[in-house]
Amino acid sequence: MKVYFDNAATTRVRDEVIAKMQTALADCYGNPSSTHSFGRTAKTAIETARKTIAKYLNAHPSEIIFTSGGTEADNMIMRCSVRDLDVETIITSRIEHHAVTHTAEDLEQEYGIALKYVDLDAFGNPDLDHLEELLKADASKKLVCLMHVNNEIGNMIDVKAISRLCVANQALFLSDTVQSIGHFEWDLAEIPIDFLTAAAHKFHGPKGIGFAFIRKNSNLKPMISGGAQERGCRAGTESYHNIVGLEEAFISAYDNLNEERDYVQGLKAYFIETIKKEIPEVEFNGLSGDLEKSTYTLVNLRLPIDRRKALMLLFHLDIKGVACSQGSACQSGSGKGSHVLNEILSEEEMMKPSLRFSFSRYNTKDEIDYAVMVLKDFMAD
């Protein structure tokens, strides 16, 4: 049996998305910047996709900029905010995606900005009182970078509260919503957030395409120079087939959101119930074991296994056909372990192996039963 529980890393592409992209590749191959009918057809489809996304997010189409994914979008917004908007201080946390933490560190070195980290509680939640202190500490122009859903432990920040804090202190707010878009509703007319980022492959779309929401009149200039594509915000010939694939995945995600959320949340609840029954000593990292306080798409668990035996755990799961991860796929093979878990676990807790299981509409309870059985058998050997 082969089961895939690594949906936080990437998701299976929906059949209707594949069909839409195949049609685009076969029949609509004009350059969107060309003025003939082939180009105009592609350009119209891109602008339709932009309007579709904006409609679901309650944003303006001009605020949606297509990128190669979340990492590029995070880099673009952070770098251009320092370069164009006179940002002198970046406030973030130590458990952000590396697209944010590494970019912030680079900007500290390159531009001499001040880099501040908000305190975290024992579960990995940002301390909003400390955030307010950092915002009020001096008169420098500030950019707050905090992700909505943590990609490793599933914690969810209060975006509305943080947005209000930023507005009250004349700070800009960027939220990496790569694990959130396609899984939660957004009303960007109601939430005064300045920037957010998304990637299609996290909600059953293609890899290599995403978008940035950039609030109107932000005055950001392009990071990539060249042509006038993406309303002058990002040069380069648009990836038309990926954009229409993103649009199709986006529509499917939101048109089926309630039904699929209920189903996936049921899977997570069943997983927690089953593994607690079969492996009573299991513990959950962050708030991932709390159905009310974490995303419904993943759990991050810690197993009572000694370190030497743990070295074979992922290999054993793979041999048995179970795909999951120890943390972010982006740091796989780094040998440094999870920077997120290092921040919230004790040295003793870090000695035990942690695994992230993440779920989608394509998973079943039978697959959960199998994965838990494989884990239980491994511990019994």
Please give the pLDDT value at position 366. 98
Q: What long-range pairs does 288-291 form, CB within 8 A, spacing at least 24?
A: 288/153, 288/154, 288/155, 291/265
- 99 vs 113: CA distance, rounded Å: 17
- Say what the pLDDT of residue 151 is: 97
| Token couple for 156 | 């969810």
Q: What is the CA radius of gyration of the chain?
A: 21
Cα torsion 263, 268, 271, 274 to 10°: value is: -80
Q: 324 an active-site residue?
A: no
| Phi, psi (degrees; rounded to nearest 5) at 354 | -115, 145
Angstrom CA distances, 35 to 40, 43, 62, stand at 6, 9, 21
pLDDT-based confidence at residue 335 (cuts at 50, 70, 90): low
Amino acid letter for position 151 = N
Q: What is the pLDDT of residue 313?
A: 94
Lowest mean pLDDT among 253-262, 313-322, 323-332: 323-332
Give the model's pLDDT for residue 223.
Answer: 84
| Residue 366 CB contacts under 8 Å (≥ 6 apart), including other chains | none
CA distance 368 to 273: 11
pLDDT at 21: 97
H or E element at residue 73:
helix 70-84
Question: Torsions phi, psi of 142, nearest 5?
Answer: -120, 150
- What residue ranges define each of the domains in the chain, with the CATH number in brackets? 3-11+256-380 (3.90.1150.10), 15-255 (3.40.640.10)
Does residue 331 carry a pLDDT above 60? no
Give CA–CA dist 336/76, Å, rounded: 27
Q: Which amino acid is at 9?
A: A
pLDDT of res. 280:
96
CA angle 254, 258, 260 (to 5 degrees): 85
Report the 10 Å Cβ neighbour count for 70: 28
Q: Which residue has the higher pLDDT, 84 or 327?
A: 84
Q: How confident is the model at residue 230 (pLDDT cuts 50, 70, 90)?
A: confident
Residue 378 structure tokens: 């491994």
pLDDT tens digit string along 8-52? 999 999 999 999 999 999 998 999 999 999 999 999 999 999 999
**Where is pLDDT greater, at 67 or 307?**
67
Q: What is the pLDDT of residue 309?
A: 87
**pTM higher than 0.85 for the full model?**
yes
Q: How confident is the model at residue 336 (pLDDT cuts 50, 70, 90)?
A: low
CA count, 13 A, side-chain hemisphere, 50: 21
Rounded CA-CA distance 150/368 in Å is 23
Q: Write the pLDDT tens digit of every residue in 85-144.
A: 999 999 999 999 999 999 999 999 999 999 999 999 999 999 999 999 999 999 999 999
pLDDT tens readout for residues 233-254? 888 989 999 999 999 999 999 9
Q: Burial level of 107, CB count in 10 A (0-12/13-18/19+)?
A: buried
How far is the C-alpha of 327 from the C-alpha of 151, rounded, in Å? 8
Tell me the residue type at 85. Answer: L
Count CA atoms closer than 13 A to 198's CA, side-chain side. 28
Q: Distance between CA 65 and CA 40 in Å, rounded?
A: 19
**DSSP annotation of 220:** P
Per-residue pLDDT band for 334 (boundaries 50, 70, 90) equals very low
CA gap 177, 193 in Å, rounded: 12
Structure confidence at residue 233 (pLDDT):
83
Alpha helices (runs of H) in 85-207, residue ranges in sequence order: 98-111, 128-136, 159-168
